[in-house]
Amino acid sequence: MSKGLVVLAYSGGLDTSCILLWLKEQGYDVIAFLANIGQDEDFDAAQKKAEKLGAKKVFIEDLRSEFVQEFIWPAVQANAVYEDRYLLGTSIARPCIARRQVQIARQERAQYVSHGATGKGNDQVRFELTCYALYPQVQVRSDPSETHHLYESGILENPKNHAPSDLYQMTKNPEDSPSEPDVLEIDFAKGVPVRVTHVKEGTSKDTPLELFCYLNEIGGKHGVGRIDIVENRFIGMKSRGIYETPGGTILLHAHLDIETFTMDREVRKIKQSLGIKFSELIYNGFWYSPECEFVRHCIDKSQENVEGRVQLSVFKGQVYILGRESPKSLYNEELVSMDVQGDYDPCDASGFIKINAVRLREHNRLQGAAQKTL
């Protein structure tokens, strides 16, 4: 008799195949769930493999569009970067995948979920927190004995060693990338990209998925978005990570530019700290949490006027902003011009500075008094 039904996040690889077998051995019925979020995978082969290993059912789900729109776009709006460098690629995928997985579990009346993200990693936390948040009654089953040999392992565990050049899969080595830049125009509305145009070639993309894939392609071609970092995991240890985020890096540069162009300075400051908070929440697996919902809402609100077009050049691993324009710009050419006086009275600036100096002078007065008495 079955111990119950488990929905397993199955990748087609060795690790999750082992888990599938182990779950069967333990007496569970297993549904294999494969999420397509754009990875390079033979889904048919994976399905057959899962069936052969004894999966009762196999679900293969194309989550690419919802991944881009519901998960990547909010990260773009937030300028989400963890610890000043990591653009959170896979961290954002996890809640997207786990959400579908618990939907399947609820629909199939499964009490259990399982996944291959054990070990000492962040992905276990991201996966399980999402499951508990969206399906509080669910229980997680995982093989305590399993071990992993991820590419992070081995040589890279010594943070001094260079990353092998064949590690990167999406991006060309900048040394081998084209010696001609590609110039793109990205149009934004409400803080998300709505069209990308290749200036020279005239081609353009305007559905979220196509647009994002195209930026990955162009960024990848020019070796954009490679980083080698040591990061702080939620579970308290430091680990090394080698990441490549070509499309995300282009979008980060472009979004930062159009945002500063159209957003008030003080709104920007508050939004910046919300964006940092958002990044930590994503990294730590709290996409589905009350605070992350709240922060997403606030960030989304801040993007109402983030609209316009950024022109940029992609070349040899780098993104260069060339110019920008917007109907919602707060940039006032006349106000800033050196040749036009306009409403701006230099006396006001003197007064502004003197009032700002009141505090500083008082501080000096007290410090000076202290020194005199020494």
Residues of span 220-249 touching a copy of itself by CB under 8 A: 226-232, 235-240
Q: Which of 52, 109, 160, 372 binds a copy of itself (CB under 8 A)?
A: 160
Smallest separation, CB 197 to a copy of itself (Å): 15
Structure tokens at 257: 């530019």
H/E stretch holding 5 reads: strand 4-9
Per CB under 8 A, which of residues 279..318 are in contact with a copy of itself? 280, 286, 288-291, 294-295, 297-298, 301-302, 305, 311, 315-318
Are the CB atoms for 15 and 53 separated by under 8 Å?
Answer: no
Binding mask of the shown chain, residues 76 to 95, with x at each position contacting a copy of itself by CB under 8 A: ---x---xxx----------
Structure tokens at 313: 């050049």
Q: Is 209 in the site for a copy of itself (CB under 8 A)?
A: no
Size of interface with a copy of itself, in residues (CB under 8 A): 123
Smallest separation, CB 82 to a copy of itself (Å): 10
> What is d(CA 219, CA 199) in angstroms, rounded to the nearest whole number?
15
Q: Which of 3, 48, 149, 190 binds a copy of itself (CB under 8 A)?
A: 149
Question: How many CB atoms sit inside 10 A of residue 343's CB?
Answer: 8
Q: Is 107 in the site for a copy of itself (CB under 8 A)?
A: no
**Stretches 7-15, 35-43, 155-163, 195-203: which one binds a copy of itself (CB under 8 A)?**
155-163
**Stretches 38-46, 61-69, 93-101, 143-151: which one binds a copy of itself (CB under 8 A)?**
143-151
Question: How many CB atoms sit inside 10 A of residue 171's CB?
Answer: 21
Q: Is 27 in the site for a copy of itself (CB under 8 A)?
A: no
Q: Is 110 in the site for a copy of itself (CB under 8 A)?
A: no
DSSP 174: G
Smallest separation, CB 127 to a copy of itself (Å): 9
Q: Which of 26, 45, 107, 159 binds a copy of itself (CB under 8 A)?
A: 159
Q: Is 198 in the site for a copy of itself (CB under 8 A)?
A: no
- The dihedrals phi and psi of 35, each to the nearest 5 degrees, come to -100, 130
Binding mask of the shown chain, residues 338 to 357, with x at each position contacting a copy of itself by CB under 8 A: xx----xxxxxxxxxxxxxx
Tokens 């609820």 map to which residue?
106
What sign does the CA torsion over 241, 123, 72, 200 have? Answer: positive
Smallest separation, CB 320 to a copy of itself (Å): 7
Q: Is 366 exposed, middle or buried (0-12, 13-18, 19+ CB in 10 A)?
A: exposed
Nearer to a copy of itself, 216 or 311 (CB): 311
Are the CB atoms for 288 and 295 separated by under 8 Å?
Answer: no
Q: Is 118 in the site for a copy of itself (CB under 8 A)?
A: yes
Q: Is 320 in the site for a copy of itself (CB under 8 A)?
A: yes
CA distances to 80, 97, 186, 217, 229 from 283, rounded to whole Å, are: 10, 15, 27, 25, 15
Per the document, the length of the chain is 374
Smallest separation, CB 62 to a copy of itself (Å): 27
Nearer to a copy of itself, 204 or 239 (CB): 239
Q: Which of 153, 164, 178, 190 binds a copy of itself (CB under 8 A)?
A: 153
Nearest to 239 by CA among 174, 148, 169, 170: 148
Smallest separation, CB 133 to a copy of itself (Å): 4
Measured distance between the N- and C-terminal CA atoms of the chain, rounded to whole angstroms: 87
Nearest to 107 by CA among 7, 3, 4: 7
